[in-house]
Amino acid sequence: MIARLTDPATASSLFDGWNETVIWSCLQGIMGCVLADDPTRPQSAAAVLGDFAFLAGAANPELIRTVRSHGEPRPLILVPRDAAWSACIEAEIKGNATRITRFATRKDPADLDRTRLLDLARDIPHGIVLSPIDAHLHRACAGADWSCDLVSQFPKYEDFQHLALGIVAVESGVPVAGASTYARFRDGIEIEADTHPDRRRQGLARACAAALIVAALDQGLYPSWDAHTRASLALAEQLGYRFDYAYDAYLVSSSR
C-alpha cells in the first residue's frame, strides 16, 4: 500500500545523486511530501511538490496511480528516474501522457555575476518599479491567472514570508511580471518566473529574476533554475546559469 512517509529521509537512498531541488525540499521535510510503498524500507518512492512528482526506486504502477489522485486535481509533471519508470508511466497512462524535455542548469553560485545581475535588474522600462512581494502583492499575484504560480505553493502570505522570496515588476500599482519561489529547500530556492501576456519581450521577467537572484545570494541561499522550455533555458543563460543536462518528463492529467 502506498502511503506518505512520516520521515521523508527514509527514502533518501532511492534519490541518491539526483540533484533536483524539488526532491531536496521533500526529503528535507520543508515542502511537499514523499509517497512510498513501505514506511520503513521503501523500494519505490515519489517526491511530490506542486505540479511535480519525481519517481525513484523500482518502477511501480500503483505509485503512479496514487500520485495522480494525491492532493488537488491538477495536471502533473511526472519525472522518471530511469527507462523502467518511463515505460511504467507510458503503460499506466496509456497514451494520455505527453513526453517533454526539460533542461537542468548547473548549481554553481560562481556562475552568477552579482554586478551583471544588478545591471539587468535596472534594465526596465520607464514607469516600472521592482518590489519585493509583500502581503498586498501576494494577494494581487494570487488573484490573476498569469501570476498565480508566483505564489501558488504558499497560499498563506505568512508561509511565503517565512520560506520564500519574490520580486515583481509593478506598473501603476499593478504587477506585470515577477520572479518568485516555487520551492524552498534548506540552502536555497527554486525560481518561478512569469510575465503578463501583454508585457512579454520587454526584459521584465529577466529584471525580476536578476533582482531575486541577488536577494537570494545576499541571504546565503542558492537560487536554482530548472527550465521547462528552451526559451526558459535561454533566459537562464542570460542571467549567468550554464546548461547542465536535459531530461525527460511527462505531462499528465490528474485521475480525478
d(CA 105, CA 103): 7
Q: What pLDDT sits at residue 255?
A: 62
- Long-range CB pairs of 139-143, under 8 A, 24+ apart, other chains included: 140/174, 140/175, 141/166, 141/168, 141/175, 141/178, 141/180
The predicted-structure confidence for 45-75, as pLDDT tens digits, reads as follows 999 999 999 999 999 999 999 999 886 667 8
**Residue 229 predicted with pLDDT over 60:** yes
Closest among 164, 174, 168 to 219, alpha carbons compared = 164
Q: How many CB atoms lie within 10 A of CB 24?
A: 24
pLDDT value of residue 254: 66
Quickly count: other Cβ atoms within 10 Å of residue 172's Cβ.
Answer: 7
19-41 pLDDT, tens per residue?
Answer: 999 999 999 999 999 999 999 99
Q: For residues 224 and 61, what is the distance between their CA atoms, to the nearest angstrom? A: 30
* Whether this model's pTM surpasses 0.85: yes
DSSP string, the chain: --EE-SSGGGGGGGGTT---HHHHHHHTTSSSEEEES-SSS-SEEEEEETTEEEEEES--HHHHHHHHHSSS---EEEEESSHHHHHHHHHHHTT--EEEEEEEE---GGG--HHHHHHHHH---TTEEEEE--HHHHHHHHTSTTTGGGTTT--SHHHHHHH--EEEEEETTEEEEEEEEEEEETTEEEEEEEE-GGGTTSSHHHHHHHHHHHHHHHTT-EEE-EESSHHHHHHHHHHT--EEEEEEEEEE----
pLDDT of residue 14 exceeding 70: yes
pLDDT at 217 over 90: yes
Q: Taking 70 as the threshold, does the pLDDT of residue 206 lie above it?
A: yes
**Whole-number pLDDT of residue 167:** 98
Q: 105 to each of 17, 121, 189, how far by Cα in Å?
A: 15, 21, 14
Contact (Cβ atoms closer than 8 angstroms) between residue 244 and residue 105: yes
* Mean model confidence pLDDT for the chain: 95
Q: What's CA 251's distance to the chain center, in Å?
A: 15
Q: Mean pLDDT across the stretch 232-238?
A: 97
Tell me the per-residue pLDDT of 73-124, one tens digit each, with 9 for 90 and over. Answer: 678 999 999 999 999 999 999 878 899 999 999 999 999 999 999 999 999 9
Q: Which three cell numbers stand for residue 33?
A: 511530501
C-alpha count within 13 angstroms, C-beta hemisphere, residue 35: 22
- CA gap 192, 153 in Å, rounded: 11
Q: How confident is the model at residue 256 (pLDDT cuts 50, 70, 90)?
A: low
CA–CA separation, 143 vs 138, rounded Å? 9
